[in-house]
A and B are shown apart, each in its own frame.
Chain A
Amino acid sequence: QSALTQPASVSGSPGQSITISCTGTSSDVGNYNYVSWYQQHPGKAPKLMICDVSKRPSGVSDRFSGSKSGNTASLTISGLQAEDEADYYCCSYAGSKSHNWVFGGGTKLTVL
C-alpha cells in the first residue's frame, strides 16, 4: 500500500488561511469517507484534528476543517496562529480486504 501524497511544506502568515492536500487513489481516499488528519508538534504524540473526512472532535478549534473531492482530501486552517506551526498527517482506510490504513508523508506548516 503506497503512502498518500501530501506537499512537503506549506506556509502562511498569522490570520491567513492555508490548505493542505492529501492525494490517494480510488482504493483508499476515493472509496471511503474514513479520512483523518493529525497535528504533531516536535517530540510529541499526534493529535486528532479531523475524522471521517470533515468531523471535528470535541475540543478542536473550528478554525480547522476537512473536505474531500474524488481521490483528494484537504485540511484547511483559517486564521493561522503561531501555535498551528507543526507537522500535519492525513490518514485513510485502505480497504475492506486487507483492513489496512495508510498515512500521508506529512506536511510541515510554517507560520511566518
Chain B
Amino acid sequence: EVQLVESGGGLVQPGGSLRLSCAASGFTVNNYFMSWVRQAPGKGLEWVSVIFSVGTTYYADSVKGRFSITRDNSKNTLYLQMNSLRAEDTAVYYCSRGTSSGWYGADWGQGTLVTVSS
C-alpha cells in the first residue's frame, strides 16, 4: 500500500527557513515523478515543484530561487527546503506521487501546515 507522510511544518518568521519531509512507503521515491502542492487557508490548490524520476527539478515562478526539492533514496523520503519565507507561503503543503513517466496526483499525503508570521 502506498503511503506518504509529511512532516516539518510549523510557525516560522518572515525571512526564515523550514524543511518539509515526505516519508514514502509501498514504493521507491526515485522511480517516480514526485511533486509538492500547497493550499493556502480557504484557497485552491497550487502546484509548487516537481522532481522527475531522473532527478531533474522544476519550480513554480512564485517559489523559484527560494525553494528546493530533493530526495534521499536511502531514506525513501522527499524533501522541500524553503528559504526566505513570506507570509504568502502560508499553506498546507502536500506531497504527491505521480507515475514513472509523468506527474498527476495519483497519491497524496495528509499535508503539513506551514505558517509564516511574526
**Which residues of A are interface residues toward B (Cβ below 8 A)?**
1, 3, 34, 36, 38, 40, 45-48, 51-52, 57, 87, 89, 91, 93, 98-106
Contact = CB atoms under 8 A, between A and B. Distances in A.
Contacts of A104: 44
Contact of A45 (B44, B46, B111): B111
Interface of B: 35, 37, 44-47, 50, 56, 58, 60-61, 94, 102-111
Contacts of B47: 91, 100-103
A3 B35 CA distance: 17
A89 B94 CA distance: 15
Given A99-B58, A100-B60, A101-B35, A48 B44 contact: no
Given A45-B109, A46-B94, A46-B105, A103 B58 contact: no
Contacts of B94: 45-46
Contacts of A99: 50, 56, 58
